[in-house]
Amino acid sequence: MPKIVAEDDVIIRTSQVILDPDTDPERYAAIADYYHVDVPDFDGWVNRVRASIPNLFPATYEMYGDQESFRAALGDADGIVCEGYTIGEEELAAAPNLKVVQKFGTDMRNIDMEACARHGVAVYPLRRRVNIAVAEHAFAMMISMAKKLCLINHRIDEQSLHDVGFAARMHDTRHAAAANWGRVSGLGTLYGATIGCLGLGEIGREVASRATAFGANVLYYQRNKLPADIDGPLGATYCGFEELLERSDYVSVHLPINDSTRGMIDAGAFARMKDGAYLINISRAAIIDRDALMDVLESDRLGGVALDVHYEEPSAPDEPLKNYPKALLTPHSAVAGRLNGAADMEELIGNLAAEIG
């Protein structure tokens, strides 16, 4: 029976429930429920995937939460699935039967490609559709705030525009165009704007590529500057955290949550942001200090705040963030349809099956 050893990631776990029939039934049920919104016949989908890979199913599939345990389990592994774990000479030497490494992403810097080639181990990247969907959501939030879409939706008569503070009145069309007769002020464009990416990982790079395509200037900050062959093609310029806040018209958060990022956007950070700037968070709520967020919304100094992640999920019905017209709030839906995740899993499993015979 083939053996797969994987980094323990909540998304990667779907491949475990597909490939290993001995997976904890509770985990299978939880993941089936997670997919149910778009894949109601989860069992049928799983069975179809299994039938397409007779050389790989059934498999033993083990997942580990740290590099050391992961490495120790590689002795009889046929395949590896990893996101951040290092795959180098030590790991390859510990895995004499290894045939394939599946990277759960496209940043291959944690994998020694030359060493894999010397050991005859195939390596596959995966451009995750889910990451693309999250980046699209962040970008949609930027556009929605720039165009004030949430505020002006359905407001196509004078009175409803007056209700939200715009002096709507048709222009003298004998001499002027009718465009924006609603007199909606402060409408913006992404072209020529500066978009600051906090974090330029897999999702941040998807955001940056779209921003550059729209003609925006892209800055980014994270602990370390990326090699020129990564940030160069994205048109992204590395800078310090404070400089990014001061220069950006849009600040988009794509960082993991840890001790160094928790509360990173605090009162001091908000004070450095431009008046009228926009903040977008599709990462983790706690990166933004909640009290500081409420204070800046109350001040009405920013152009808007867009959040797909929240301090409590589901939020309470009386969540105070809902009281601010400039707060665009979505229910952690940036990952979009589950079919994106299903397609990622099918590609991942197909790559493993192509090398394990």
- Residue 216 CB burial class (10 angstroms; 0-12, 13-18, ≥19): buried
Q: Which of 27, 50, 301, 332 is catalytic?
A: 332
What string of DSSP letters covers 248-317?
Answer: -SEEEE----STTTTT-B-HHHHHHSPTT-EEEE-S-GGGB-HHHHHHHHHHT-SSEEEESS-SSSSPPT
Q: Which amino acid is residue 260, in one-letter code?
A: S
- Residue 270 CB burial class (10 angstroms; 0-12, 13-18, ≥19): buried
C-alpha to C-alpha distances, 22 to 10, 17, 59, 112, 345, nearest whole angstrom: 18, 8, 9, 32, 18
Annotation marks residue 119 as catalytic: no
CA 278 to chain centre: 18
Contacts of 67 (CB under 8 A, 6+ apart): 85, 86
Annotation marks residue 284 as catalytic: yes
Nearest to 305 by CA among 130, 320, 239: 320
Q: Which amino acid is residue 125, in one-letter code?
A: P
**What residue ranges in the chain does DSSP mark as E strands?**
3-7, 60-64, 79-82, 100-103, 122-124, 194-198, 217-221, 236-238, 250-253, 278-281, 304-307, 327-329
Rounded distance, CA 353 to CA 99, Å?
Answer: 10
Token digits for 156? 């196509």
Q: Which of 50, 183, 284, 290 is catalytic?
A: 284
C-alpha to C-alpha distances, 320 to 226, 293, 306, 315, nearest whole angstrom: 38, 11, 14, 10
C-alpha to C-alpha distances, 207 to 196, 235, 237, 283, nearest whole angstrom: 10, 11, 14, 13
Just list the catalytic residues. Answer: 284, 332
